[in-house]
Each structure stands twice: as structure tokens, then as C-alpha cells.
């Protein structure tokens, strides 16, 4: 798929099986074995292949199945090493190639932030550990060193992630899913009525193998197979440091995931992590330029920027407060912004909140292979009776049908933000668009109105979610405040309170004298927003025609399509509101006109 990293097939067993021979070679070459433990190979199963190790310069291993010409289809692999570092007396500095024959036996083997308005049982609130705003939060360059690190707990080296993430798999492949299934059943997952398969919606998902009844409980994932803030660390020292520093659940689990992932086979979660997407679909991976270019019309752009800033801020805070003090436990080659983007991307798209476990947040292997359907109303939760994570089907499924759950009542924008997809137009009953309303700077009472808003935690410009079925009462209250004349200053406070979704004040305000102005104000804001969407959607056809690199073109086509789908669905809601507002205004004006005519008629009568 478009997001593909240039690296494919990271094969741990290869490294493990080759280790003695490679260690021997490394010793001869005066190189620390750990420094090149990051090896790729070009097939999933290799048996007794003749492997060639090429040492041309002293760099971390680079090579892929298809892009590095040194890695042929024959099963050879190579790595490059940087010249002149740690070259021992006996080093074969002049020899640039080692060829050997190795016998290889094994094969390679549900936040985000909850919406202000809608309660989401699946995805927890994300709060940064500490907001450390930098002026250019994610254009900053990150230092990358090429030293290897190992943990004291096991003899295995950690896998550094100085480039693309070396663990996980391609998002659209079934790579590693049978190993995951096998490992899960060996680890206590009961027999399942579903299996991981390629699917039309969500690329990979759980498909019914047998008839499933409506109201049936499925999954039964035992708590021992769940990753949460209480999970045991393969490197307990690292876990202890984070807990001593009271790191909250989200960053704690994010760090845990990186720590376990880097230990590859030495981690009990290896089979699970190997089946996770190497690059989750997430707005975290959009550059600032891409967000500005494709999401200019949508308020989701702001949310994405805020989220990226939070993730970067959280990472920076952890790095400054903790990682830098314990470099042996948290080496930068492993715990860096790239790995944090990956782990937060995984959490945003897979972490679930389990209400029956006091709202605990957790990664639930197997259950997190279920895709979302906007019309399904069933959620994951812990079931005390069966002592497992389950969901109860809200419909029947036949063998071969994909089984869905709900990730919560989320708008298309929220789904794009956390999960990287946009449902088909008109299929999401929870869809909404954020409409921005602003006080007019030229308003004589601007200051008083702003003060009233501030008292209730609001600003001069506020976003309100509009649905196809209508807008919230808060929006109408804000509109009343924005258009009210100085003579109504005594009501400013009441209006501002009603505009806040935090206050319990009466929301259903009614000011017939300014009703028309308020509706016109909302309509103007709506039309301003529609014109932004029109501009983007018209321009999108001719956008990116200048991109020549196929990889870049693919990525841009994909991102643009997501943006076009989002903007089309958001504009559709605005069009509906525009229609309703125009009709109401027409009725109001024709009603007033009729009343005026009647009044004038009476006037004439009395003359
Ligand atoms: C919890 S995972 C579900 C399993 C995922 N399909 C996988 O292969 O790992 C959530 C991810 O699945 C995909 N997904 C879930 N529901 C989807 C849908 N209705 N349409 C498109 N993609 C979906 C998105 O990539 C999302 O980030």
C-alpha cells in the first residue's frame, strides 16, 4: 500500500539462527555483534541457504528484498558497516565480504480524544504528560546515533529503530497472522468462531467461520493476554523507573510497547507485535504541509496538529525527564520520536477502554483485529461471568461474513484522526462537522461578550458540531450572544452559560426579537465554511499533477482521497444545514411580511 516503508520482511529467526556464525565473523572483523543484529532477509522461509555478508562501509544494515540490489532473491543478505569504528587489531578492514553457508530452520514467523459531545466507550482521552510546546513541534530534527544497546535482563540485543520501524508488518498483509493465531491459542485463547482474513473493509479483519447468532458472546480473550499499564515488563528496571516517575497510562503503555517490540523474540508479545501494522494509518504520519494542503477546509486539521503536538510534547517530556537519565534502559536508538509516533499510532487505533474493569485502557490482542462499522452497536468489554474480554453480537453472521464492532459514535473526522479511514458517504449516522462561530471584532459589546464567554470556559471563536439532523442548542445560544444588541447586555451572561456544554444552565433560549439575526449569523458562518470546502474540492482535481516520483504520487493520491471523502461528507452536512436555515429564514421573513401587511392593512382601516 501507499504508506509502505522501504523495508520489508524483518526476520528475527534468521538473526537468531545465524547468530553464532555472525558472531564469529564479527569477532574477526573487530565488530560488536549487536551492531549488526538488525538484519533483513529476502524471504519468509529459508532453508540451508548460502548467505553472503558484505561489509562495504560501517553502517547499520540496510537492504530490502527489492530495493537493495545487494539483496538478491537467492536468499543472500548483506549489511553495510561504517568505516573505521571499533576496528580491532585483527579486523579485516580490507576485506569487504564474508561468505558462509548457514542452515536456517525457521520461518519468519482499538482516544484519541473522546469527543466533547459524544461519549466514546472505546477510545480513551489522551492527555500529554506535560505540554511542552516547541515552536516547530514536528518539523524538529531528531538526533540519531548508531550505537547498539542491550538490556541487562536478557542476552538479546535490542533492535534499534534509527530508520523505519523494524517490527510489525505491512498493514494490508496477512503476514504473521497465522503465527499470531497459533500463539494466542497456545496462550489460553479458547477456540474461535472467527479467523483473521483479508477483507473488503479494513484490509484485514475477523471473518465468521461458522454461523453466529444475534446476541451471542464472542472472543473471550483472557486478561493474561491483555496489555495494560499493569503488564509485566521484560525489562523490569525500565518499568520501575516509569512507575516511580508516575508516568500516566498512555505514555506508559506506549513506552512498554516500544520496549517489548525492540526485544523482538525475547518478548512474550513478539507474535502480537509482529502482526501489528508497521505504520498504522494515522494522521500522526501526515506532515504539516500535507495537513495544510488537504485538510485546510476541515476543522480536523487543527485537531490533528494539536494531537501531533501532544505526542511530540509527551515524547520530549519523557526524554528530558526520564530517558536521558537512564540511557542504558532507554537508548535513543530505540526510544525516539519515530518509535513513539508508531506506538501512539497503535494506541490511537487499537487501545480500548474496558468499563467493567473500572475504565482500564488496554490493548486486546485478537479483539483488535475487529474492524468498525458505523451501524453496529456493540462494544468490547470485560465479562465477569466468563472472565474474558467479549462483545455481544447485535446481528447474525454467516460463515465468510466479516464481523464488526463499534469504535464508538464518532464522526468521520474523528475516525480519520484516530483510525485513518473515512466511512462511505452517508453511512455514518454519528457523522458531524465542526462549524466555527466567531464574535465580530467590530461588535460594540465585544469585550463584555468575550468576558461572559470566558467565564464559562469559552473563547471568542468556538466550534460546534453540526449533524445531518441538526445543531446543538449551545450553537444557537452562541449565535444569540453574537448578534444581541447592547440593550440586551443583561442577557449576555445567560447566553454564554447556555453556549457552554459544561454548564447546566437552561439551553433552550428563545429571543424572538433577534431570532432572524441569529439564524442569518449561523447561515453566514455555514456558507463561509461551504465556500472553503468548495474551493478545496474544486482544486483537488488538479492538485499534485506535478508529482513525478511514483511513491510520492501514490501517497498523495491516497491522502487526497481521504481528504476528499472527509470534505465531501462534512460539506454534505453543511449543505443540509444551509437548506434548513434558508427555509426557516424564508418562513420567518414571509411570516413577518404577512404580519406587516396585516398591520398596514389595519392602519389604513383606522385612517
Ligand atoms: C483495531 S484495528 C482493526 C484491525 C486492522 N484492520 C488490522 O488489520 O490490524 C483498526 C484499524 O483497522 C482499519 N479499519 C477499521 N475499521 C475500518 C473501516 N470501517 N474501514 C476502513 N478501515 C478500517 C483502520 O486502519 C484502523 O486504523
pLDDT at residue 37 greater than cutoff 50: no
How far CA 492 is from CA of 375, 452, 459, 506, 524, in Å, comes to 40, 6, 14, 14, 21
Same-domain pairing of 534 and 462: yes
Mean pLDDT in residue range 306-323: 97
What pLDDT score was predicted for residue 27? 57
Among residues 205, 269, 210, the alpha carbon closest in space to that of 235 is found at 269
For ligand 1, atom 24, the nearest C-alpha belongs to 419
Same-domain pairing of 310 and 372: yes
C-alpha 555 – ligand 1 centre gap (Å): 18
β-pair type (352-354, 461-467): unpaired
Mean pLDDT in residue range 467-484: 97
C-alpha 525 – ligand 1 centre gap (Å): 34
Same-domain pairing of 538 and 460: yes
- ipTM above threshold 0.85: yes
Mean pLDDT in residue range 242-261: 98
Among residues 230, 192, 175, 137, the alpha carbon closest in space to that of 388 is found at 192
Instruction: Give the rounded distance of the alpha carbon of 32 from its chain centre.
Output: 37
Residue 90 lies in a domain: yes
pLDDT in tens, 137-156: 332 222 222 222 233 333 34
Residue 272 lies in a domain: yes
- CATH code of residue 363: 3.90.1410.10
- CATH code of residue 452: 3.90.1420.10
pLDDT at residue 131 greater than cutoff 80: no
DSSP per-residue codes, 461-482: EEEEEEETTB--HHHHHHHHHH
Same-domain pairing of 392 and 436: no
605 φψ region: left (φ > 0), alpha (ψ -120 to 50), beta (else): alpha
Burial of 461 (0-12, 13-18, 19+ CB in 10 A): exposed
Same-domain pairing of 387 and 468: no
For ligand 1, atom 27, the nearest C-alpha belongs to 419
Mean pLDDT in residue range 430-441: 97
Residue 152 lies in a domain: no
> Which of 95-104, 188-197, 211-220, 539-548 is predicted least confidently?
95-104
pLDDT at residue 423 greater than cutoff 70: yes
**The last residue of a domain, from among 101, 134, 166:** 101
pLDDT in tens, 551-568: 888 899 999 999 999 999
How far CA 554 is from CA of 9, 421, 538, 576, in Å, comes to 21, 16, 20, 33
Tally of domains in the chain: 3
Handedness of CA 169, 172, 176, 181 (dihedral sign): positive
Contact predicate 26/79, CB 8 Å: no
Residues of the domain holding 24: 12-101
Burial of 413 (0-12, 13-18, 19+ CB in 10 A): buried
Residue 460 lies in a domain: yes
C-alpha 349 – ligand 1 centre gap (Å): 8
Radius of gyration of the chain (CA): 29
For ligand 1, atom 10, the nearest C-alpha belongs to 349
Work out the percent of the chain whose per-residue pLDDT is above 90.
64
C-alpha 379 – ligand 1 centre gap (Å): 15
Residues 6+ apart with CB under 8 A from 87: 29, 30, 31, 93
**CA separation for the pair 15, 9 (Å, rounded):** 12
How far CA 411 is from CA of 89, 406, 419, 465, in Å, comes to 64, 12, 12, 9
Work out the percent of the chain whose per-residue pLDDT is above 70.
72
Burial of 353 (0-12, 13-18, 19+ CB in 10 A): buried
Q: 3-state DSSP: the chain helix, strand, coil percent, rounded to 5?
A: 40, 10, 45
**CA separation for the pair 258, 239 (Å, rounded):** 12
Mean pLDDT in residue range 104-127: 29
**The last residue of a domain, from among 101, 116, 131:** 101
Residue 170 lies in a domain: no
pLDDT at residue 70 greater than cutoff 50: no
C-alpha 371 – ligand 1 centre gap (Å): 5
> Which of 84-88, 201-205, 389-393, 449-453 is predicted least confidently?
84-88
pLDDT at residue 13 greater than cutoff 80: no
What predicted TM-score, i.e. pTM, was given to this entire model?
Answer: 0.75
Same-domain pairing of 233 and 361: yes
C-alpha 428 – ligand 1 centre gap (Å): 16
Same-domain pairing of 212 and 254: yes
What pLDDT score was predicted for residue 587? 94
Residue 143 lies in a domain: no
Same-domain pairing of 199 and 331: yes
Residue 94 lies in a domain: yes
Position with higher pLDDT, 128 vs 496:
496
Among residues 129, 113, 126, 158, the alpha carbon closest in space to that of 319 is found at 129
**Which residues line ligand 1 at a C-beta cut-off of 6 Å?**
110, 201-205, 277, 280-281, 349-350, 368-369, 371-372, 419-421, 423
Ligand 1 pocket check: which of 110, 371, 418 to mutate, most ligand atoms within 8 Å of Cβ?
371
Same-domain pairing of 395 and 436: no
Residue 112 lies in a domain: no
pLDDT in tens, 335-393: 999 999 999 999 999 999 999 999 999 999 999 999 999 999 999 999 999 999 999 99
Ligand 1 pocket check: which of 419, 420, 424, 425 to mutate, most ligand atoms within 8 Å of Cβ?
419
**The last residue of a domain, from among 101, 117, 147:** 101
Computed over every residue of the chain, the mean pLDDT equals 78
For ligand 1, atom 26, the nearest C-alpha belongs to 419
Same-domain pairing of 342 and 459: no
Handedness of CA 551, 312, 158, 167 (dihedral sign): negative
What pLDDT score was predicted for residue 545? 75
Helix H segments across 279-435? 288-294, 300-321, 337-350, 412-419
Residue 504's pLDDT band (cuts 50, 70, 90) = confident
Among residues 370, 376, 375, 408, the alpha carbon closest in space to that of 390 is found at 370
pLDDT at residue 32 greater than cutoff 90: no
Mean pLDDT in residue range 239-259: 98
Mean pLDDT in residue range 214-219: 98
pLDDT at residue 2 greater than cutoff 50: no
Same-domain pairing of 92 and 209: no
Same-domain pairing of 436 and 401: no
Amino acid at each position: 500500500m501507499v504508506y509502505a516503508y522501504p523495508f520489508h520482511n524483518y526476520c528475527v529467526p534468521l538473526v537468531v539462527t545465524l547468530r553464532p556464525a555472525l558472531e564469529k565473523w564479527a569477532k574477526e572483523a573487530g565488530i560488536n555483534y549487536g551492531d549488526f543484529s538488525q538484519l533483513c532477509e529476502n524471504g519468509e522461509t529459508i532453508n540451508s541457504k548460502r548467505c553472503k555478508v558484505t561489509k562495504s562501509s560501517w553502517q547499520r544494515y540496510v537492504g530490502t528484498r527489492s530495493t537493495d540490489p545487494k539483496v538478491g532473491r537467492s536468499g543472500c543478505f548483506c549489511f553495510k558497516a561504517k568505516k573505521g569504528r571499533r576496528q580491532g587489531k585483527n579486523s579485516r578492514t580490507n576485506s569487504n565480504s564474508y561468505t558462509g553457508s548457514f542452515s536456517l530452520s525457521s520461518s519468519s514467523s482499538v482516544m484519541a480524544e473522546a469527543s466533547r459531545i459524544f461519549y466514546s466507550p472505546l477510545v480513551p482521552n489522551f492527555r500529554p504528560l506535560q505540554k511542552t510546546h516547541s515552536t516547530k513541534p514536528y518539523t524538529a530534527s531528531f538526533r540519531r546515533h548508531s550505537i547498539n544497546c542491550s538490556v541487562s535482563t536478557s542476552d538479546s540485543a535490542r533492535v534499534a529503530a534509527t530508520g523505519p520501524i523494524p517490527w510489525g508488518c505491512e498493514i494490508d498483509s496477512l503476514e504473521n497472522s497465522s503465527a499470531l493465531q497459533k500463539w494466542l491459542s497456545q496462550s489460553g485463547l479458547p477456540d474461535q468462531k472467527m479467523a483473521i482474513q483479508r477483507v473488503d473493509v479494513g484490509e484485514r479483519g475477523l471473518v465468521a467461520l461458522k454461523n453466529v447468532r444475534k446476541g451471542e458472546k464472542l472472543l473471550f480473550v483472557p486478561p493474561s493476554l491483555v496489555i495494560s499499564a499493569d503488564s509485566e515488563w521484560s525489562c523490569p528496571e525500565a518499568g520501575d523507573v516509569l512507575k516511580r516517575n508516575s508516568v500516566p497510562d498512555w505514555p506508559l503503555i506506549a513506552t512498554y510497547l516500544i520496549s517489548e517490540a525492540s526485544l523482538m523474540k525475547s518478548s512474550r508479545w513478539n507474535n502480537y507485535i509482529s502482526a501489528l501494522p508497521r505504520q498504522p494509518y494515522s494522521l500522526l504520519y501526515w506532515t504539516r504541509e500535507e495537513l495544510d494542503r488537504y485538510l485546510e477546509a476541515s476543522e480536523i486539521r487543527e485537531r490533528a496538529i494539536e494531537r501531533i503536538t501532544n505526542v511530540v510534547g509527551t515524547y520530549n517530556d519523557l526524554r528530558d525527564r526520564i530517558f536521558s537519565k537512564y540511557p542504558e534502559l532507554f537508548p535513543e536508538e530505540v526510544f525516539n520520536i519515530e518509535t513513539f509516533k508508531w506506538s501512539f499510532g497503535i494506541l490511537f487505533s487499537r487501545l480500548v477502554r474496558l468499563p467493567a474493569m473500572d475504565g482500564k485502557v488496554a490493548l486486546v490482542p485478537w479483539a483488535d483485529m475487529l474492524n468498525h462499522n458505523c451501524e453496529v452497536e456493540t462494544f468490547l468489554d470485560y465479562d465477569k461471568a466468563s472472565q474474558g474480554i467479549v462483545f455481544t453480537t447485535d446481528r447474525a453472521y454467516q460463515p465468510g461474513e466479516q464481523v464488526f464492532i463499534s469504535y464508538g459514535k464518532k464522526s468521520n473526522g474523528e475516525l480519520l484522526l484516530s483510525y485513518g479511514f473515512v466511512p462511505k458517504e452517508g453511512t455514518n449516522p454519528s457523522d458531524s462537522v465542526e462549524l466555527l462561530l466567531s464574535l465580530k471584532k467590530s461588535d460594540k459589546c465585544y469585550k463584555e461578550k468575550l468576558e461572559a464567554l470566558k467565564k464559562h470556559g469559552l473563547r471568542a471563536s468556538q466550534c460546534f458540531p453540526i449533524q445531518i439532523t441538526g445543531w446543538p442548542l449551545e450553537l444557537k445560544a452562541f449565535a444569540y450572544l453574537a448578534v444581541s444588541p447592547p440593550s440586551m447586555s443583561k442577557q449576555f451572561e445567560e447566553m454564554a452559560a447556555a453556549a457552554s456544554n459544561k454548564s447546566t444552565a437552561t439551553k433552550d433560549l428563545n429571543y424572538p426579537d433577534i431570532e432572524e439575526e441569529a439564524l442569518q449569523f449561523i447561515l453566514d458562518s455555514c456558507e463561509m465554511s461551504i465556500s472553503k470546502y468548495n474551493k478545496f474540492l474544486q482544486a483537488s482535481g488538479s492538485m499534485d499533477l506535478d508529482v513525478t516520483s511514483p511513491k510520492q504520487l501514490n501517497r498523495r493520491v491516497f491522502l487526497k482521497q481521504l481528504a476528499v471523502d472527509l470534505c465531501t461528507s462534512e460539506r454534505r452536512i453543511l449543505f443540509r444545514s444551509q437548506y434548513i436555515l434558508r427555509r426557516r429564514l424564508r418562513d420567518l421573513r414571509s411570516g413577518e411580511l404577512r404580519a406587516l401587511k396585516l398591520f398596514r392593512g389595519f392602519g389604513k382601516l383606522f385612517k
